A and B are shown apart, each in its own frame.
Chain A
Amino acid sequence: MREIRELLVNKIKELLDNGTVDRVIGWKAGEFCYDVTPAIFTKDDSFDDFLFNGFCGANQSKYLIEETKAPGRDEPEKGKILVLLKPCDSYSFNQLIKEHRIDREKVYALGVPSKGMLDVNKLRNMGINGILGIEEDGDMVKVKTLYGDKEVARKDLILDRCRCCKGSKHVAYDELLIPEAEEWEKDTTDRFAEVEKLEQMSAEERFDFWRSQLSKCIRCNACRNVCPACSCRTCVFDNANSGVAAKVNADDFEENMFHIIRAWHVAGRCTDCGECSRVCPQNIPLHLLNRKFIKDMNELYGDFQAGDDTETKGPLTAFTKTDAEPSIVYSRGGDK
């Protein structure tokens, strides 16, 4: 990781110096070493606190909406911005271009490699607390804690979403940091396995499962705010006239409603980047909602990967005359 960071910083400096871009969205340490936060760097900034490590999970493509917006009346025209896209981020990037939310002309996209991002909760689940510092070293991760140093295999800390990796190939970029980046050794899982498990349950069990999950929601809106597909100018949940713009869930109806609508609004546009589940402070498996839609649409309307390109219509903005009738729902799923 160290070497890659060095390579990256050199590349960024080169692009800033030769005037290709005038700023870059990078990453900086947050309050803790594992909550790395996106930050903007310009030519005049020192790159000493620029970070690139396994905790740079944040998908940066959404920031480009704000950053490439046409300037207001008294604002100066901004130059190009450099964005660092991991392979999966490049899908979201494409999707936002498809939806005309990013001005492609104002972006220089540098593809950066990823060997799977890390999940600090996995360390905690191993009983490792009081974390002071984390250092990645090849296949191992060295953790400095209040209670002494620990060493853990990197593969045991991989974020669940990365275990369903779409691959090391970028679908959009202007340049690749490492052109011939090889596939990383992932221990993959079938991304629909958990959805299927739920489908096999009885309706009552499913209801209880989702109640136990969704009732934890504190309606912080982090899942919506982080989602690159959730990019409406005014979200229905911020629109006072919609009647659903509550700041808290008043009862379990609202918990269900918020999640059904959030997931439905991004159906066909969600690239399955997994950011919603990663940021949820309550650890609600939100990806299980998104993936249900993806699975249904794949089965009913043909395989589709949002963000694969910038043209193909998504399944909910297209149709065929022979689509299944909604009554098909009565005969699908586990319990009939």
Chain B
Amino acid sequence: MQVEEKKEFTPLIVAFCCNWCSYAGADLAGSNRLNYPANVKIIRVPCSCRVNPLFILRAFQRGADGVIMCGCHPGDCHYTTGNYYARRRMTTLFSMLDYLGIEKERTRVEWVSAAEGVKFAATMKDFAETIQKLGENRKLRDLRCEK
């Protein structure tokens, strides 16, 4: 008998979630027993504006296949304007990644409020599917970090 050695690819997804909205949204999804993919690893940040471009690159370096950032809806930031700055930063950063030839679908920004548990689960599912289709991140990865 032969043992099939084919391992299925499960993408690793890192989600930076703002404490005041999306993180609570993830909580709500959980308490409502909504499913979202288990390979989404959430990192809580105090505000979407806290996300430094190095965080995103670091996540890829350590083996993430997709990185998503979630914050309060524009206008609803707990610190009033943080997400407006974050929006410009992520737009320019993502555009630069694309310019370097890194698949632009690997990065995403989504605004999810604390009341949007359903949206949170749906977003993560959709993003995970996109990354599943894209396959492994090979372009922005640190070979030394490989297990």
Contacts and interface: CB of A to CB of B under 8 A. Distances in A.
B93 interface: yes
Interface in A231-274: 236, 242-244, 250-251, 253-254, 256-257, 260-261, 263-264, 267
B140 A321 contact: no
A126 interface: no
A319 B84 contact: yes
A301 B88 contact: yes
Majority DSSP secondary structure for residues of B touching A: helix
A206 B99 contact: yes
Contacts of A193: none
A293 B96 contact: yes
A316 B85 contact: yes
Interface in B65-115: 74-75, 81, 84-85, 87-105, 107-109
A304 interface: no
A333 interface: yes
Contacts of B92: 264, 267, 293, 296-297, 300, 316
Nearest to B105: A330
B143 interface: yes
A256 B101 CA distance: 11
Contact of A261 (B57, B81, B85, B140): B57
B57 A260 contact: yes
A285 to B, nearest CB: 13
Give the residue among A315, A325, A328 with the most B Cβ atoms within 10 A.
A325
Contacts of A261: 53-54, 57
Contact of A203 (B58, B93, B103, B140): B103
B141 interface: yes
A203 B95 contact: no
A263 B54 CA distance: 12
B94 to A, nearest CB: 4
A329 B140 contact: no
A205 interface: yes
- Chain A interface residue bracket vs B: 35 or more
Interface residues of B, number: 39
B99 A325 contact: no
A260 B88 contact: no
Contact of B96 (A208, A289, A320, A325): A289
B65 to A, nearest CB: 14
Majority DSSP secondary structure for residues of A touching B: helix
Interface string B44-74: 0000000001100110110000000000001
A63 interface: no
B7 interface: no
B109 A326 contact: yes
Contacts of A242: 54
Interface in A132-155: none
Interface string A144-171: 0000000000000000000000000000
Given A244-B54, A316-B85, A328 B96 contact: no
B57 A324 contact: no
A323 interface: yes
Give the residue among B57, B60, B97, B101 with the most A Cβ atoms within 10 A.
B101
Contacts of A205: 101
| Pairs A-B, 3 closest by C-beta atoms | A207-B101, A206-B101, A319-B84
Interface of A: 198-199, 203-210, 236, 242-244, 250-251, 253-254, 256-257, 260-261, 263-264, 267, 289, 292-293, 296-297, 300-301, 315-317, 319-321, 323-330, 332-333
Given A319-B87, A329-B94, 5 more contacts: A208-B101, A261-B53, A329-B91, A333-B98, A333-B99
18 contacts: A198-B99, A206-B100, A208-B101, A256-B57, A260-B57, A289-B96, A289-B99, A293-B92, A293-B96, A296-B95, A315-B88, A316-B89, A325-B87, A326-B90, A329-B98, A330-B105, A333-B95, A333-B99
